[in-house]
Structure 1
């Protein structure tokens, strides 16, 4: 019974992810230039809550840097759990489907959300000690570069009624680059060590803004760096 059910689910996912005429160069629905030759995206797990995606969203707007060329104002989303950038494309018969951007040629991307922008680069373009094929969020200040490797862990949680569900939790890794030296950042103390002359002011700022610096909230370091790394 379980085997039949799994086969049925797999068939449904394949049908929803498949688009006809994928062969022949597809084009982005929001850009006349042809830049993609990736595989068709098929969701592996439930995506209703979007927990495995960057900013928990399936609809992001931003730019992609593909083979040295910038493509602007595109629609895409970032599956952190599988390290995939997915974007809708338009095939030659005007059908729309989602495909995974070929990571061999995608050098980086930028996400625009409200009045904020989030910049990502491939590891081999940042530092030799980072994973070359992974994408890292990069914040560059006047003296420091703050690097975040967003990671989502899929955990099985039990409910009060005895049922079990999967959920994703942040388990990100944080780094600082100073004079080309890569250092790990695990908490507020590690971050403060890079600002020996400003520790008191930063501590006061952290309390006032109610910020926590850890692997579950890596973006909380950004307002600190924006204010004090000048």
Structure 2
């Protein structure tokens, strides 16, 4: 009879080999992972599904997930999941663990996730929540503790994607570099130093991908 292996409580500190696996499993996410996201977005535009305007962020993300999965071969060393829980950085019970809007989960060790956080952007200037997730979640290691990169998805309702990226750069106070794999996409990359909690071996260098997915005509339910 097969039994499940419990996660030690409290979790044991990851050793150097675990951290090395977490950092190396995806050396170039733009080339591999994020191509699936753009393919899913293209499919969504080509065959628009019904989107619930009462809850745009969750509705769009939930619709993206199966389209990402459909764009994959099924032989990748990871799978995609909507609402993955990050138990590494959860507080003591009864606190709930952080949950990612989307994550690519490593099959070899499902504690290791490459996350994508989504935010609805009414205009290119409505970036307060977007900025907060980068600064307070990614750059504190609360999100993506084992990974040296992650992504933000901006669901843009009106305005220009390029204006949005320019404003993101201003908000974060850093340059946004073009991504060679997607020269014609509104897709940029920023580089940061994270605040690593004392006693943790999480990677301090962090690269954040910024993808602006335009959904003209959608509007948040008032």
Which has the bigger relative contact order, CA under 8 A and spacing at least 6?
2
Larger radius of gyration: 1
Q: Same fold (TM over 0.5)?
A: no
Question: What interval of TM-score do these two structures reach, taking the shorter chain for normalisation?
Answer: under 0.3
Structure with greater helix percent: 2
TM-score (norm 1): 0.24
TM-score (norm 2): 0.25
